[in-house]
Structure 1
């Protein structure tokens, strides 16, 4: 008999194990057996909860996106303008989000999204939400065209810094990444005000 109440705990353990396995491997080339072993459950139970590896990997990406979304909502609550943009930047480079296994998982998901319609859809949702949050914060302080360009640039910098950090040796440096995006933000705001 299955233990009552264990399914959410085991699902979360499998998702966490998948993220760690992807982070260590640096790709989605991990097996259900490896993930299940890390989670302390049988491969059969992992298949029972998620069907196949692709379903588990998609659940891991949805989990990462949900965590990022929740952190972002809390960080921007009650903030407007520059403060709101700075909160978006800070969340993306927070200790919780910018840890090595999450950064590696993002890189692996970006690569896999080239071949997976469902992962591509998740990444498009993420990109639209990031752009929308940035644009909402920038519009009150910049002209519309400048706000659109700045939002696109900030989003590209965030994504690009994740990719660059995933490809470097050693732990990702969130402080320098955040500072670089902040510098870009300040330049864009200053350029718009002076034109």
Structure 2
């Protein structure tokens, strides 16, 4: 029987181990035995806490999403609610800096993206993340555009975030937050100009 309080230690340890193994060998080759070895525990511990590999992968995805949500919230807290473009930049930054930009996290994200197309639970988590991003963006964009325009632009920014993030993950240089911010600001400026001329 595990000691009291051990889940608080073991679960994050196993999530980190899962990301490290996925980084090294990919999602499909990330077996329970490799993850257990990486964490320095028996395979039975993974089954005990997560019910197997799928449960651990789901918890890993949840942890990445929690970290992203906390980063977005933290960034937004630092900026006055009247500074809408800066707040959009804060949302963008949260997707490209810190935890999200770590190599093993980026590779895990990428693996989950492809895996979620065929797994209903992971697909649901991906949709939650997408809705959260669009919601944050629309809150700021609704102050600058009509609701219909804000929806279109929010989807455009989300697509840019995903595309820039994907390219950054697949290149040796990695993710460039400054470049992402520049591209998205350029897009936003063009939208502001376009709609102001209508």
Asked whether the two chains share a fold, i.e. TM above 0.5, the reply is yes
Deviations 1:145-173 (A, max 9, x none): 22111100110111112222222234333
Rounded to whole Å, the distance in 2 between the matches of 1:14 and 1:88 is 29
**Residue 37 of structure 1, CA deviation:** 1.3
C-alpha contact (below 8 Å) 2:67/2:99 kept by paired residues: no
**Residue 54 of structure 1, CA deviation:** 0.6
Cα gap change, 1:181/1:21 in structure 2, threshold over 3 Å: closer, same or farther?
farther
C-alpha contact (below 8 Å) 2:20/2:104 kept by paired residues: yes
Q: Secondary structure at the match of 2:101?
A: coil
| Equivalent residue, structure 1, for 2:136 | 133
Structure ranking higher on relative contact order (CA contacts 8 Å, 6+ apart): 1
| Equivalent residue, structure 1, for 2:71 | 71
Rounded to whole Å, the distance in 1 between the matches of 2:171 and 2:112 is 17
| Equivalent residue, structure 2, for 1:192 | 195
C-alpha contact (below 8 Å) 1:22/1:30 kept by paired residues: yes
| Equivalent residue, structure 2, for 1:153 | 156
**Residue 174 of structure 1, CA deviation:** 2.7
Rounded to whole Å, the distance in 2 between the matches of 1:91 and 1:14 is 24
Rounded to whole Å, the distance in 2 between the matches of 1:47 and 1:75 is 36
Give the TM-score taking structure 2 as reference length.
0.91
Give the TM-score taking structure 1 as reference length.
0.92
**Residue 144 of structure 1, CA deviation:** 2.4
C-alpha contact (below 8 Å) 2:23/2:104 kept by paired residues: yes
Rounded to whole Å, the distance in 1 between the matches of 2:75 and 2:176 is 21
Are 1:105 and 2:108 an aligned pair?
Answer: yes
Q: Secondary structure at the match of 1:87?
A: helix
Rounded to whole Å, the distance in 2 between the matches of 1:187 and 1:172 is 24
Could you list the runs of 5+ residues in structure 1 that have no partner in the other structure? none
Cα gap change, 1:28/1:54 in structure 2, threshold over 3 Å: closer, same or farther?
same
| Equivalent residue, structure 1, for 2:14 | 14
Deviations 1:20-56 (A, max 9, x none): 2222334343111111111121111121111110110
**Aligned length, in residue pairs:** 195
Deviations 1:57-93 (A, max 9, x none): 0000000001111111121134342122111011111
Over aligned residue pairs, what C-alpha RMSD do you find?
A: 1.6
Q: Secondary structure at the match of 1:96?
A: helix
Rounded to whole Å, the distance in 2 between the matches of 1:194 and 1:157 is 24
User: Of 177, 182, 187, which aligns to 2:185?
Assistant: 182
